[in-house]
Amino acid sequence: MTIGCSTDEPNTEPISLLSIRINGATLSNNAQGIQVDATISLSFSSVLNPDAFATQLSIGSAAGAENFTIAYESSNSRATVDLSLDYATTYTIEVGTGAIGANGEQLESPVTLTFTTAEDDVIRSMSPCTNPADCLQSVELQGTQGSGKFEFYSNYPIYEANAEWEDLTQAVIVIHGASHNPDDYFSYLTNTLNAASLSESTVLIAPYFRNTAAANSADFHWSSTVWRDGKLSSNSNKISSFEALDEIIKQLANTERFPVLEQIIITGQSSGGRFTHLYAPANTVEGIYADIQFDYIVSESQYFYYPDGQRIDESTNQLYTPTSCNGYDFWPYGYNIIPDYLSTISEVTFNQRFVNRSIIYLLGNGSGTDNALNTTNCSATLLGSSRYQRGENMFRYMELLYPGHNHSKTVVNGVTHDGSAIYQSATFQGLLTDLLD
């Protein structure tokens, strides 16, 4: 007798619960202060059998089981439940070990988590949102000729009308580069804040200066890269990119919503660094909110503002005045042909702010290829021979002309031009920890 083995037996490998989130944040056991309008999302390693999964999922409190419907996404590997819960109530969510996968897969062990909703309609704390897909928010801002939508990623709902954030003592705002990828920068900084155990006390915001090609009629958007210089949006309801960030900061400075917020750090990578370098002296909000500490981290920019027409000669490491580059001191390299945002600010005031505000140059000194380096425009090449050297020259200029300046520099060894590597480096984490300490 010959005994054979079938190759068509069902897959009996266990299915894994990859994540469980509530309102965009990872749900931990015994979580507190959960909003009563809740969305629970469960992601699995394999495709679910919807009918089978529904029999294994239960959500309830001491008052009884909740009634709910389940929506499925990601080819039925993610299940989402929307709930309207009661205040000050402890709930338990359970997933049993019955067959829930499309091929009969089961969990190796049951999942049981409890959470408690907020005591009333005032939101005082919550777990931070960490998945960019869940963290995109928008606000209606007023432009010169009407309003428009401005989007940003945030780990907390900063425009929540019923919030009084009791634990959020600081904010970090990260500005994307020319690739218009704020979701990536939100992820980089989320990882760093988590690693430094700062997520529970820090608002993280990644504004989206939307490109015209990716916008609809309701969005504020900017053609080309003019957003990085504080210029007006391209739509009819115009707003300066600097003013858009002002409005975000005004919300963070609202003491009714953020009663304990004491510090705001603004950082940007590459073109976002250019934005940050210019916004640092341009903005008026720092002067309005004297109780908040502002710091500006300019990361791997290749372009810098200079208060006068002098530059650094790399061969001597000393100052000189160029003579063969027309317009080399025009905005954003100098205070000539400035954007509308600066129309009420004198050059003297601007330069005083530039010298006295806390600006940190975050420089990567790697020797790899930098394909994005501008090596053709003389206004740029006068700043230095490489991205790293341009940052060093900027700091050297400040040391020579303004010995009492409030600028500093931090070098990330081995990084050439890489936002992910810079912002997730131990060096940046240490810098952030020192600033927020």
What is the 3-class SS of 291-344, one letter each residue? CCEEEEEEECCCCCCCCCCCEEECCCCEEECCCCCCCCCCCCCCCCCCCHHHCC
Nearest-5° angle of CA 169, CA 170, CA 171?
A: 145
- Rounded mean pLDDT of 190-208? 97
Say which DSSP state 108 is in. S
Dump pLDDT digits (tens) for 353-376: 999 999 999 999 999 999 999 999
pLDDT tens per residue across span 39-90: 999 999 999 999 999 999 999 999 999 999 999 999 999 999 999 999 999 9
Best CA proximity match to 241, nearest among 224, 252, 229, 249? 229
φ, ψ (nearest 5 deg) of residue 275: -55, -50
- Closest by Cα among 22, 21, 74, 79 to 50: 79
Cβ-in-10-Å burial (0-12, 13-18, 19+) of 310 comes to middle
Domains in the chain (CATH in brackets) are 17-117 (2.60.40.3710), 132-436 (3.40.50.1820)
221/214 Cα distance (integer angstroms): 8
End-to-end CA distance of the chain: 76
Quick one: what percent of the chain has pLDDT higher than 90? 93
| 235-265 per-residue burial string, b: 16 or more CB within 10 A, e: under 16 | bebbbbbbbbbbebbeebbeeebbeebeebb
Per DSSP, the three-state class of 91 is: strand
User: For residues 8 and 398, what is the distance between their CA atoms, to the nearest angstrom?
Assistant: 73
Enumerate the H helices of 23-180 as residue ranges.
50-56, 132-135
Angle made by CA atoms 173, 302, 238, in degrees to the nearest 5: 55
Determine the average pLDDT of the residues in 196-218.
Answer: 95
The amino acid present at 129, given as its one-letter code, is C
Structure confidence at residue 12 as a pLDDT band (50, 70, 90): low
The pLDDT value given to residue 5: 46
Give every CB contact of residue 275 below 8 A, 6+ residues apart in sequence. Answer: 175, 227, 228, 229, 230, 241, 268
Read off the pLDDT of residues 376-415 as tens digits, 9 standing for 90 and up. 999 999 999 999 999 999 999 999 999 999 999 999 999 9
d(CA 35, CA 82): 12
Reported pTM: 0.83
